[in-house]
């Protein structure tokens, strides 16, 4: 993921890709961005730029410290409505000094998985694990995801 971002930024710097407009509005639907630090504003701007075509909406923005770094957590919706329903929001988080904010896009794990899809599902869970380590999702979220995925995989082995 980082390599893709670096490649895109490099190509954009060489004017091989169209540049993204400098201003992207950050719509925070619950006002949780009041008194936001420059780091929080920067994180929201990065996410707004990344998902510009979806006009993201944010809510539940919080910050806390992890060691000597600031962490921002919140929820983002890419749903087109002015005020999206609660189920349309996904958790995100960023650590100061890191390159890219993480967004966990939850997908329902199917009852059976094709062997070729297993790595995709494991990789989806990696973002959830990172968000849990940042303190952006409840402790045990990744374990619950992993246990469910393992149950599906074990079921596949017995069939």
| Judgement on whether residues 26 and 95 belong to the same structural domain of the protein | yes
CA separation for the pair 140, 38 (Å, rounded)? 31
- The Cα–Cα gap between 53 and 71 comes to 26
Whole-prediction pTM: 0.77
Q: Based on the number of CB atoms within 10 Å of its own CB, is 49 exposed (0-12), middle (13-18) or buried (19 or more)?
A: middle
Tell me: do 115 and 49 sit in the same domain. Answer: no
Q: How far apart, in whole angstroms, are the C-alpha atoms of residue 48 and residue 70?
A: 20
Cα–Cα dist 142/125, whole Å: 7
The answer to whether 107 touches 123, Cβ cutoff 8 Å, is no
Range(s) of the domain holding residue 68: 20-99
**pLDDT tens-digit series, residues 125-144:** 999 999 999 999 999 999 99
Instruction: Provide the domain count of the chain.
Output: 2
Are residues 114 and 81 part of one domain? no
Q: How far apart are CA 94 and CA 124, in angstroms?
A: 17
Same domain, 69 and 109: no
pLDDT tens for 48-98 read 999 999 999 999 999 999 888 999 999 999 998 888 999 999 999 999 998
């Amino acid at each position: 993921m980082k390599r893709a971002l670096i490649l895109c930024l490099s190509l954009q710097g060489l004017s091989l890709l169209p540049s993204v407009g400098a201003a992207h509005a950050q719509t925070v639907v619950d006002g949780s961005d009041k008194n936001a630090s420059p780091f929080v504003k920067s994180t929201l701007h990065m996410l707004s730029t990344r998902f510009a075509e979806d006009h993201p909406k944010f809510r539940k923005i919080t910050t806390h410290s992890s060691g000597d770094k600031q962490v921002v957590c919140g929820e983002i919706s890419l749903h087109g409505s002015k005020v999206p329903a609660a189920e349309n929001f996904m958790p995100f988080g960023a650590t100061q000094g890191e390159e890219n904010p993480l967004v966990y896009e939850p997908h329902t794990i199917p009852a059976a998985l094709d062997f070729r899809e297993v790595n995709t599902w494991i990789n989806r869970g990696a973002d959830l694990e990172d968000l849990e380590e940042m303190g952006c999702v409840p402790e045990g979220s990744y374990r619950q995801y992993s246990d469910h995925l393992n149950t599906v995989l074990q079921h596949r082995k017995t069939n």
